[in-house]
Amino acid sequence: MPYRVLRPPYCYRWAVLLGVVVLAVAGTVSLFHSAEGAPTPVPAAQSLPTPPPGEAPPPVGGDLVRTTARQGRFVALTFDDGPDPTYTPQILDALTRAGAVATFCMIGANVTRHPELVRAVVERGMRLCDHTLSHDEQLPGRSEQRMTAEIAGCWSELQVAAGTDVAVPYFRAPGGNWSAPLSAVAARQNMKSLAWSVDSRDWTLPGTPQIVAGVQQAVRPGAVVLLHDGGGKRVQTVEALNQLLPWFVSQGYRFDFPG
């Protein structure tokens, strides 16, 4: 016998349809109010652009020193990654001939190998800067304990090499890779975080003329200039310095330490 498909009464079907419509409208209203009350999404942070040649990387929290201590037509020269037995003495002699002062950011491992150069830098009236024990450019991502060991360890090596209590007023992050925790650790060691405002880019070995021209174009009163006396062959840096020192004097600049 054929069977009939049983269908619910029309009134029941209309009731179900009406219920579905009501639920849909209620859901739409609820979503509207939720969206209206929700905070506006914050765009994801964008990476900072790479600075053009001759300019320092942007600050990353904390107060980074990138000007001279005194205002006016002053310039502060800084040398990284030494001391080096070949280039540090040549740079010291050039500075002495010009009556200039500079700050030497030293790596603890090099300090241990050449303590006599630390004493020579101090005896010439220069200042010291802590550049960590091992020049670990990934230091901002390490633990606080590791940061402290790298910074305090270099400070200790400088004291031992100098043979007396010696001031180390600055800390410079390897590669200029800064973070707020790294600056905080340095501050607890009574060191200012030393950056720069002019990158000579001598570390790229572009040639002496390019180093000289780059510094001359970028320097301004109060500038802190980044150079290197270690970390590789620095013949170009020495040659450039011998040209830049008299040029600074001819332009009315005097030499100072970072602020």
- Please report the sign of the dihedral spanned by the C-alpha atoms of residue 211, residue 214, residue 220, residue 223: negative
Residue type, 235: V
Burial state string for 164-176 with b = 16 or more CB within 10 A and e = fewer than 16: eebebbbbbbbeb
Query: What one-character DSSP code corresponds to residue 180?
Result: H
The answer to whether residues 224 and 198 touch, using CB atoms and an 8 Å cutoff, is yes
Question: Which residues on adjacent β-strands are paired with residue 52?
Answer: none
Sign, CA dihedral 105-76-97-54, equals: positive
What is the spatial distance between Cα 176 and Cα 166, in angstroms, rounded to a whole number? 24
CB 155, CB 114: distance < 8 Å:
no
Identify whether the C-beta of residue 128 lies closer than 8 Å to the C-beta of residue 88: no
Query: Cis (ω within 30 of 0) for the bond into 59?
Result: no
Catalytic amino acids? 80, 228
